[in-house]
Amino acid sequence: MDFLRQLCNIQAPSGSEDEMTAFVLEFIGEHSGGWQVQPEIFHGQDFQNCIVLVFGKPRTMVFAHMDNIGFTVRYNHELVRIGSPDITSGILLSGKDKSGMVTCELAVDSEKKLFYTGSREIERGTPLSFVPDWRETDEYVQCCYLDNRLGVWNALRLCETLENGAVVFSCWEEHGGGSVAFLTRFLFEKYGIRQALISDITWITEGVRAGNGAVISLRDSGIPRKNYVDKITSFARESGIAFQLEVEASGGSDGTEIQKLPYPVDWCFIGAGEMYPHSPNEKVHKSDIRAMTDLYRYLMKAI
C-alpha cells in the first residue's frame, strides 16, 4: 500500500495532471524492465498529459483516469468546483501559485458559495486539492483521491503480468472528460481494439457492500451493450474471484465517453466500491482491492 499512498499524495486536479503524468512515466521507466512483456509507450504532444502502453497483440484496452476533483481560485477568495467535490466547511485545501505552496480552509456561505479562508491571497486560476491524510488498518485504506489513484494503481499492477492489451492513463474525467475520444480513436484505428474495461472507483450503496468483492457495473448514466457485459460477468463467475453487480441511474466514467463516440467499441466498468466519495475520507476495503486486481488479470487473458 506504500505505492498507493504515494499516488494519493500527488495533486492532479482535472486540467493540471502534469505531476501525475511525470510520476507515472518515471515509474514506468524504473519498473517496466521487470514486467513480463515490454510495452510500446505513447505520450507527449500528440497525447497531451495522457499515456498509452501497448503490450503484445492487444484485444482490450484498460482506461484509468489520473485526475482528481478539486477547486479553482476565482476572485475575492471565491472558489469554483472542479468536478463534484465534498463542500464541507473546514476541509483543508492546498495548491501552488507563483508565490509557492499554500494551504487554506474551505468555507461555504448561506448561499452555497465557496471561499477559501485562513490564507494569503491566492493567485486567480490556481487549482486546489484536498490535503492528503492517509489512514490504514488491517481491513481498510482511507485517504482523499482513492478515486482514482486506486484505478491507476490497479492499472500499473496489471502491467506487471500483461501479455496482450493496452493500458491507458487518461485525463479530465472528473470534469466532463475529453481525452478518451482521441485515445479511443488512436487505439481503434491503429490496433483495431473494440473492447474496453474501465479501472475506476464506484460508491458503496444499499446494493454494493464493502468486502464483497470487485464491482461490475451493469449500468450508470450510460448503458453498455448487454451482451458484452454478460460476457464479462460470465468470465468473472468462471474465475471464482469475488465480485458484485451494480445498477445505478446516475454517475459516469471514461466508459460513458466511449459510448458517445462514433466507434464500435464496447465498454464495462469494473472497480472497487468506496465510502465517503469525493471527500478527504474516501475509504476502500482491502479485500475489494485484491479482488479488483485479480479480476483484471484474469479478464485480460480471457477476453
Do 128 and 101 touch, CB atoms closer than 8 A? Answer: no
* Paired residues of 65 in beta bridges: 170
User: What is the dihedral sign for C-alpha 186, 189, 191, 197?
Assistant: positive
Tell which wins on pLDDT, 63 or 251: 63
Average pLDDT over residues 87-98: 96
What is the model's pLDDT at position 146? 98
Domains and CATH numbers, the chain: 2-68+135-302 (3.40.630.10), 70-130 (2.40.30.40)
Helix (H) or strand (E) holding 107: strand 100-108
pLDDT of residue 2: 94
According to the model, what pLDDT value does residue 176 have? Answer: 86
d(CA 233, CA 42): 31
- Helices 18-31 & 146-159, crossing angle to 10 degrees? 20
Task: Say if residue 282's pLDDT is above 90.
Answer: yes
SS3 139: coil
What's the pLDDT tens digit per position in 226-273? 999 999 999 999 999 999 999 999 888 999 999 999 999 999 999 999
Q: What is the mean pLDDT of the chain?
A: 96
Banded model confidence at residue 177, pLDDT cuts 50, 70, 90: confident
pLDDT on residue 119: 79
What tens digit of pLDDT does each residue of 124-138 get?
A: 999 999 999 999 999
